[in-house]
Structure 1
Amino acid sequence: MSAEAVSALGLLGRVELPGVAGSICTARRYVRGVLRRSGQRDTYDAELLVSELVSNAVRHSESGRAGGLVTVAVANCGESVQIAVTDSGSATCAPRIPPGQDEGAEGGRGLWLVRELSLSWGWHEGAAGRIVWFRLARR
């Protein structure tokens, strides 16, 4: 999500975190706090999905290297909220939902969950890095 897009949507909060596994929990708490302060009562899906995206950023992007950063932005879109995770991208790995999800697999379902639980989602490369975003209805 570009800075212009975030501004137009109504930025509720933005945080930059180290590209380490410990940031997954921090991102979850941050999103919960921002959403509750904005009047959102149900934050479970947002917390789950931001966990998946930050986990992917740390595992599969250059942000997971020493000194890497991940940014989480939360924006008000009226009847929905948009959450975007920006990382440093990867030359060898792009966000995709693997075909034929195996219910017995221990991993690989993060983006599938994002697709299933969100109103919409997507990703693009931007000047700041790779941005993966999703929208959820406000409740």
Structure 2
Amino acid sequence: METPVRSWPVPGRRNAVLDSLTIPGRPEQVRRTRTFVTRALAAAGKGDSVDSDAATLLTSELVTNAIRHTASGRPAGTVTIVIVDVPDGVLIEVIDEGSSAGTPVVRSDLLAQNGHGLYLVQQMAAQWGFLREPGGTTVWFHLAGRAEGG
């Protein structure tokens, strides 16, 4: 599955990376990603045009998944977050160091104690998906911009 950055060309408009961050794959670093997303969107002037609270929540869910379920959570593992300006909002990619497990799975059992991260992404993002490559997996989501005056 292609990410929109690679498959979403718009005539006359280039996608632009707003910011990126690579963190150690440790649970205490998730807070750092929330601060990063909020600040990066505000600095790029996107804080009012996209739901930065949703961006922050969904990014922290994906980073947590990367740390818990992939090689990124091993000693010396890392997770990279990339925020991209796209024609209708922002695209956020969370890149891990790979897993021997299967593909990311959305769990819809709302009574379970955990496992709701991808469910939230599915419900709140305009689009989401993943790209599995030999060196890792990129899980991405697109948040559409708010309508004018909204």
Would you call these one fold, judging by a TM-score over 0.5?
A: yes
Identity of aligned residues (%): 36
* Secondary structure of the corresponding residue to residue 142 of structure 2: strand
> Which residue of structure 1 aligns with residue 16 of structure 2?
10
Q: Which amino acid aligns with 1:18?
A: P
Q: Which moved more, 1:123-132 or 1:110-119?
A: 123-132
Cα 1:34–1:127 change in 2 (3 A) is farther
RMSD: 1.9
- Return the alpha-carbon distance in structure 2 between the equivalents of residues 13 and 127 of structure 1: 24
Compare CA radii of gyration and give the structure with the larger one: 2
Q: TM-score, normalized by length of structure 1? A: 0.89
- Return the alpha-carbon distance in structure 1 between the equivalents of residues 96 and 131 of structure 2: 11
> Which residue of structure 2 aligns with residue 91 of structure 1?
100
Cα shift readout 1:68-124 (whole Å, capped 9, x = no counterpart): 0000000000221000000011112421113xx232221111101001000000001
Q: Would you say 1:73 and 2:82 are equivalent positions?
A: yes
Q: Equivalent residues in 2 for 1:1-139 (5 A)?
A: 5=6, 8-39=14-45, 40-41=47-48, 42-98=51-107, 101-126=108-133, 128-139=135-146
Q: Which amino acid aligns with 1:109?
A: H
1:128 positional shift:
4.6
1:22 positional shift:
1.2
1:127 positional shift:
5.5
Q: TM-score, normalized by length of structure 2? A: 0.83
Q: Which residues of structure 1 form unaligned runs of 5+? A: none
Cα shift readout 1:5-49 (whole Å, capped 9, x = no counterpart): 4xx520000110000001211111101111011122241000000
1:129 positional shift:
1.6
Q: Which amino acid aligns with 2:140?
A: W
Q: Which residues of structure 2 form unaligned runs of 5+? A: 7-13
Moved over 2 A (4+): 101-104
